[in-house]
Chains A and B, each alone.
Chain A
């Protein structure tokens, strides 16, 4: 492997690790805020305790998010110096703004954690959640803007290798930005809802059948329903956007080779790499045209319009299908749960339902990984679509291999210790015990 391959590997590994914690970091604060608010309003200690317990877990994941994010931030310069030198001229503004969002969140998180009992009016403490929510979501907004720029670069003209007519605002508000930001945010909130529901459902499966866990599941399934629907709708608008502005990415995900109208949707299947024939797939007529253009007669651009050396790897088809599959699973679970709650004939907290909710946690995290790998691998071979290839951007330093292994060891260590600490945190002190004690926490 050469420096390029190692750099790719290290980037993939770091981002894949960071994104788990980043997603949790973006999503959980909203739920802490909601729970604390309900707790104060209804004067219900269950919800107040939820806010406290979630916060404690949250701090641990934020810590890993912060240190791995710091790694990416610096690694971008260490591994892709050419890219940063070039793109730094156009998109450093959102990256710079992101650090202010971090600052803002970090400051208020520090205050929030150590002021549970400081204010006589509990709403003041609740107010502190707002800057945390805003800061976390703004971090996601700004970094996703950078990523959207890599997909649809604009805001500059390239004349003989030199950048002119720079417009940082246009670079930030590029065509890929709206759908991407919306999908990243909604999927992060959705993931948080399922992770929190997972913890409560898991406790119920272990026999802690109590009101605290039920309330947590109810809250998270209700919000989960809305968020799953939103994520699918916005995901659909992402696909519409791709069909228009980045057709090769969509075509690669759908194994769509010939430009055509009334294009069928292919689910699963196997591709013959020489003939590009698909076997064993479920084919839904017209569905791709419907998905991509919202019209059965719409024309969808196929991969054959592009030179072969600009095709993304075709395995992204499976990533896309799996993400969409999980999306519908995450919609079905809350629907089923609400249906069972409303139709009083069944017990909505039966073992199967709870197991289904528990599975939603890892599934949603998995969908985040699938989605990002689809989005990033689908952009290949470009690092800056149409302008710079990944192979032209990598460092020339020959020692990336060593650093890859160093970071691999780091992430392994962090991952294991983080899981241990989290599980000990919740196991050693079940909610029931804490409700009894009701002492100062943290």
Chain B
């Protein structure tokens, strides 16, 4: 496989990883707040915090890995996206910073307050919305590029149907992924009451996810026909995604195999995400940046790939250890050990 494809595949896999773990985290923030509003905080709160506490920093590193990696493999992206995304990027950063640090403050330091819960819940929805603008911009039409600068056309972005469709999809996906995972976790923890609530969140969360993804398809057709045609050519990926979704909902509805249901949700998003990514190529940014002309030199590329493989050898056993201790350890999940 050529270097450029290796690079983008690696990065896309990590971005997918971030999509899953961060969605669980972001959605949990929303449910924690919503739970407080409807008065079931003590029911779902413990389930959420037991899962989140040990892993929040790991979640953040997935994102860091992606943006450091993309500048490494495709240095030109730093120029285009870097110049254009100053404002949305900074807003997302500030939200992330507030969320991450306040999570730690509340969890390891002070008592939780209402304000904190509100911030935690609100940032959980705002961050995905802010981050999703990167996808929107990559479709082209939102940047004006001249000889020495790149400008983001804020107005176009704001009044674009596509851009809002993506935001909707991002938010509803976050809520859906999170609720299906927490359903599984609550079941694992044998926490019946939390399970019932989270299960109903999961079932209801599925509806807007599907509607908004249809909406994205339609809006993309109007916005970037070339990409849309590429997607249609990969129809089977999106078909498999839909099938996985149906199985997941069916399982949750029948109250069985919540673990398998969550795996199906992961597959649903894997098919859709990789289908989207593959059909986006050969462009990284329509129509300015192509995968092949923006890739770094061979020497650096090879060094990065070697570093990546070595890094994985270190990471995978550590991650497995983390998951075994906290995700698959029945005693911990039930809150019986410290």
Residues of A within 8 A of B (CB): 56, 59-60, 62-64, 66-71, 73-75, 77-82, 84-86, 88-90, 92-93, 95-100, 102-104, 106-111, 113-118, 131, 163, 166-169, 395-397, 399-400, 402-403, 406-407, 410, 413-414, 417-418, 420-422, 424-425, 440, 442
Known A74-B67, A95-B68, A406-B94; contact A396-B300, beta-carbon cutoff 8 A: no
In the complex, which residue of chain A has the Cβ closest to the Cβ of B93? A71
Minimum C-beta distance from B326 to chain A (A)? 7
A/B interface sample: 18 pairs, CB < 8 A = A67-B100, A67-B101, A74-B67, A78-B82, A88-B78, A90-B300, A98-B68, A99-B64, A104-B314, A114-B54, A114-B338, A117-B338, A118-B325, A131-B318, A166-B297, A395-B82, A407-B94, A424-B110
Given contacts A88-B296, A114-B326, contact A97 B307 (CB under 8 A): yes
Q: How far is the CA of A42 from the CA of B140 in the complex (A)?
A: 65
- Chain B residue with the shortest CB-CB distance to A421: B109
- The interface of chain B, by Cβ under 8 A from chain A, is 53-55, 57-58, 60-61, 63-65, 67-69, 71-73, 75-76, 78-79, 81-87, 89-91, 93-94, 96-98, 100-105, 108-110, 148-151, 296-297, 299-300, 303-304, 307-308, 311, 314-315, 318-319, 321-322, 325-326, 332, 337-338
Tell me whether A114 and B303 are in contact (CB under 8 A): no
Residues in A neighbouring B94, C-beta threshold 8 A: 406-407, 410
User: With a CB–CB cut-off of 8 A, which chain B residues contact A84?
Assistant: 71, 75, 78-79, 82
Q: Say which residue of B57, B75, B82 sits within 8 Å of A92 (CB atoms).
A: B75
A74 touches B72 (CB 8 A): no
Which residue on A lies nearest to B326, using beta carbons? A114
Nearest Cβ in chain A — how far from B215, in angstroms? 29
Contact, CB under 8 Å: B148 / A396: yes
| Max chain B Cβ within 10 angstroms of own Cβ: one of A80, A81, A114, A413 | A81
Known interface pairs A96-B304, A169-B303, A424-B109; A73-B97 also in contact (CB < 8 Å): no
Nearest CB on B from A423, distance (A): 10
Q: Is A111 within 8 A of B307, CB to CB?
A: no
Q: B57 touching A106 by the CB < 8 A rule?
A: yes
Of A107, A397, A413, the residue contacting B83 (CB under 8 A) is A397
| Structural contact, A60 and B68, CB atoms closer than 8 A | no
What's the nearest-Cβ distance from chain B to residue A248, in Å? 29
Residues on A with C-beta less than 8 A from B65 are: 99, 103
Is there an interface contact between A59 and B98, defined as CB atoms closer than 8 Å? no
CB-CB under 8 A from B311, the residues of chain A are 97, 100, 103
- Contact partner of A410 among B97, B109, B110, B148, CB < 8 A? B97
Q: Once bound together, how far apart are the Cα atoms of A92 and B73, in whole Å?
A: 8
**Are B108 and A166 in touch, CB under 8 angstroms?**
no
A320 to B322, CA, bound (A): 44
A98 to B311 Cα, complex, angstroms: 10
Residue of chain B at shortest CB distance from A404: B90
* A38–B338 CA distance with the chains assembled, in angstroms: 23
Cβ contact within 8 Å between B109 and A395: no
- The answer, among A80, A166, A418, for a CB contact under 8 Å with B105, is A418
Residues of A within 8 Å of B105, CB to CB, are 60, 63, 417-418, 421
